[in-house]
Structure 1
């Protein structure tokens, strides 16, 4: 019975979300009459469209996502701590960052609809003293924080409040889906970055780990590793193992690129319009008003949403650039020719930059975030001049 009520609740929530997205498209023609409404409407429609795409990605791609997580958590590529190199601690710190990010994102995204609802209720109660809109030259549409066609009766004040509640339910659906997608994607990026840093640590400590594995002292010195076949085989084995780990991580990056690149492109385009429209509306409404507070919270969520993926994407690029330095610091001077050949091949591969892209157009880095913010200010200037 509890499971039945749960599925019923989820079905109602998702139905309201899809209805809200349809209602936003139905009133799009009316929003063209006002530039601020038009700009924010485009951004909101794109955001909810991205939410539906993210829902489809999570629904139909959950099997592949689970397989990626299983590969990243493969115990075969977990290494023991050695001196200052502590891969286990690095994984724990990465998980702690993921948990903090998840809770913060869910709270921020969920508060978008709540803040808009509160600001609308405050304005509604201040301007409408009675139970109807008669004699005020106002309708329920004048108090909506975000434009959408109201499919319910809204001639009375309590009916308008009911329409705002319906809006909150729809927004909660989109906020939950977008939050799950964004936290999952950023968590995968963070885990991938952590694994790349672990590979760096393994490359740096190759010789020390090998000496420990075969029971030799840390200060063991030999002119040519080929004079000690056991040490040479262990060094080559560990190098091959770490290189294979690196190849798996690079394939995971390709899978993440294939699955998420166009969703991030939609998100970036939506953010461009939303930030510019928020700047324009914030320029119009009085400072400190309920609309301003709701607007600031909404724009903050959009910036954080884009900053998360750009930050972790940038961290992956930085971590991959450290691979070559770590290989060079692996005390390879006395190594065998086959060890050096394998190391050179890894050097050559890592000369190509490792990054995720936005729709195959631009790397997912902090520079891209700055470019989108600059573009938003440019659109704000256009809206202001119009």
Structure 2
């Protein structure tokens, strides 16, 4: 009986450390000091400099609807990232306790027939890596679509030493944030673009690290449910596999099956506890995320309707919309997948070879099935269930607000 992987959240740990919102293992030395300096920089940028720049820009453009709509998307990204930075600092220990419970080696089961718990966990880890890296690649693609052309063009103007005063591209920065200095030359414009690029790269690390961790927690909890379903289904065969001796007594088999049943019940209790803890930790940030997605989707639809489809801005806003819908889809898919996995657990109990068992085993089985009648549904703020139907509802609401604002 091999051990499960104990680094199921390696990819999320890596991104959160890169975003400076996750503690490192080194408590002393140059690495510790360097990381603390980096953390101070991240906190200063995300919680002080960006909000200040945002409020100044909003105050200057509050009367211009189009400019305000252009400011709204990066504003929501920045404020949402700031909330996730603060949330990560405040709940780091609680999150790590849930991660430790899911990586614990207390609930291992023997491989038998087509039931291989270690393989299930390996696939779960791979799925978490693929999901997280997909999010990162999509965010990076959006960032390059936004800043790639302006950076290359300003660098070209700088090399050729050409003025930018009458060039439309250089009238505003790619993202409408209040600049730290006047961008009246190609070099200054290039530096301003690079600073914004670095800022949003940092936000991408925060978003991918945090959202990837939440989705991977739900992913691993769901795979524990799959393992538990298989453990219930193969409980008799696994007991026969482990019992030694030629003369197999009925009492010996019954006793062994009761031991395995109690182990499975403890495993189920651990899963329910992890579900409750994860929902309690993430429920408010999920509600903020859902609200932010609604605002961003409506904002992007407005900007797309006001932009020439042949322009660079149209492609940029289209990539924003795709990123928004993808992020919401991953949230709702993770919650929906967990709910469907929980529904399948009683089927494993029913498929176990229980007809010849005695009353105590059947009582445990019946009580467990009654408990599993209550659906496991993750919610955002105890209000919005994280299901695929919720995703459709949010997108419909965003489109409805868009039609009202655009007067269509």
Q: TM-score, normalised by structure 1?
A: 0.88
CA shift, 1:364, in A, is 0.7
Change (3 A) 1:31 1:123: farther
Q: Tell me if structure 1 keeps the 8 A contact 2:157–2:163.
A: no
- Indicate the SS of the match to 2:110: coil
Match of 1:241 among 263, 283, 306: 263
CA shift, 1:176, in A, is 0.8
Q: Does 1:44 align with 2:74?
A: yes
- Indicate the SS of the match to 1:146: coil
- Indicate the SS of the match to 1:188: helix
CA shift, 1:345, in A, is 1.3
Q: Tell me if structure 2 keeps the 8 A contact 1:192–1:249.
A: yes
Query: Match for residue 305 of structure 1?
Result: 327
Q: Tell me if structure 1 keeps the 8 A contact 2:183–2:192.
A: yes
Q: Does 1:294 align with 2:312?
A: no
Which stretch shows the higher mean deviation, 51-60 or 250-259?
Answer: 51-60
Q: Does 1:95 align with 2:117?
A: no
Q: How does 1:244-283 map to 2 (within 5 A)?
A: 244-283=266-305
Query: Match for residue 337 of structure 1?
Result: 359
CA shift, 1:43, in A, is 4.1
Match of 1:368 among 390, 400, 407: 390
- For this pair of structures, how many residues does the alignment match? 375
Query: Match for residue 84 of structure 2?
Result: 54
- Determine the C-alpha separation between the residues in 1 that align with 2:115 and 2:61: 58
Change (3 A) 1:332 1:291: same
Q: Tell me if structure 1 keeps the 8 A contact 2:226–2:341.
A: yes
Query: Match for residue 223 of structure 1?
Result: none
- Determine the C-alpha separation between the residues in 1 that align with 2:90 and 2:157: 47
- Determine the C-alpha separation between the residues in 2 that align with 1:55 and 1:249: 27
- Indicate the SS of the match to 2:140: helix
Query: Match for residue 194 of structure 2?
Result: 165
- Indicate the SS of the match to 2:228: helix
Q: Does 1:186 align with 2:215?
A: yes
Higher relative contact order (CA 8 A, sep 6+): 1
Post-superposition Cα deviations, 1:331-355, rounded to whole Å, max 9, x if no partner, equal 2122211111111111111111101
Q: How does 1:70-109 map to 2 (within 5 A)?
A: 70-109=100-139
CA RMSD between the two structures: 2.7
Query: Match for residue 97 of structure 2?
Result: 67
- Determine the C-alpha separation between the residues in 1 that align with 2:143 and 2:50: 12
Q: Which runs of 5+ in 2 are unaligned?
A: 1-28
Q: Which runs of 5+ in 1 are unaligned?
A: 221-226
Q: Tell me if structure 2 keeps the 8 A contact 1:13–1:169.
A: no
Post-superposition Cα deviations, 1:239-277, rounded to whole Å, max 9, x if no partner, equal 110111011111101111111111111111111111121
- Determine the C-alpha separation between the residues in 2 that align with 1:314 and 1:163: 42
- Determine the C-alpha separation between the residues in 1 that align with 2:377 and 2:80: 22
CA shift, 1:127, in A, is 11
CA shift, 1:25, in A, is 2.2
Q: TM-score, normalised by structure 2?
A: 0.84
- Determine the C-alpha separation between the residues in 1 that align with 2:147 and 2:36: 26
- Determine the C-alpha separation between the residues in 1 that align with 2:222 and 2:336: 9
CA shift, 1:89, in A, is 0.9
CA shift, 1:46, in A, is 2.9
Query: Match for residue 195 of structure 1?
Result: 224
Change (3 A) 1:247 1:5: closer
CA shift, 1:154, in A, is 2.6
Which stretch shows the higher mean deviation, 84-93 or 143-152?
Answer: 143-152
Q: Tell me if structure 2 keeps the 8 A contact 1:13–1:170.
A: no
Which stretch shows the higher mean deviation, 181-190 or 41-50?
Answer: 41-50
Query: Match for residue 241 of structure 2?
Result: 212
Change (3 A) 1:28 1:127: farther
- Indicate the SS of the match to 2:106: helix
Q: Does 1:21 align with 2:51?
A: yes
Q: Tell me if structure 2 keeps the 8 A contact 1:122–1:290.
A: no
CA shift, 1:111, in A, is 3.6
CA shift, 1:118, in A, is 2.4
CA shift, 1:31, in A, is 3.9
Q: Does 1:175 align with 2:204?
A: yes
- Determine the C-alpha separation between the residues in 2 that align with 1:383 and 1:228: 73
Q: How does 1:132-171 map to 2 (within 5 A)?
A: 132-133=164-165, 142-171=171-200
Post-superposition Cα deviations, 1:273-310, rounded to whole Å, max 9, x if no partner, equal 11121122122222242212222222222222221121
- Determine the C-alpha separation between the residues in 1 that align with 2:388 and 2:253: 43
